[in-house]
Amino acid sequence: MSPGVLLDAAREALLLALVVSLPIVAAAALVGLIVAAFQAATQIQDPTIGYLPRLLAVVAALVVMGPWIGRQIGTFAEQMFTMAAAK
């Protein structure tokens, strides 16, 4: 394979990693923001309170988005194997 093709594949892989991880990170950030607002409103200063809701949000996001993430990664892998077999 030429260096240009490999560079394009690497760029696509990095973009795919960003796209599939964004919903999970966004769910954790949103729940963290909500928990922080709740802690500020109730003046609870315990730093460990925010971990369980974020963990549950990440697990729920993975359950919901898991099939889509798997399809995206599988499609990318299939394209890479097809490209490698053709060259």
- pLDDT, tens digit, 9 for 90 and up, residues 33-80: 999 999 889 888 888 888 999 999 999 999 999 999 999 999 999 999
Domain limits for position 70: 3-86
- pLDDT, tens digit, 9 for 90 and up, residues 18-27: 999 999 999 9
Residue 11 is predicted with a pLDDT of 96
Residue 17 is predicted with a pLDDT of 97
CA distances from 21 to 2, 12, 62 (A): 29, 14, 10
How many domains does the structure of the chain reveal? 1
Residues 6+ apart with CB under 8 A from 22: none
CA separation for the pair 32, 73 (Å, rounded): 28
- Indicate the pTM of the whole model: 0.81
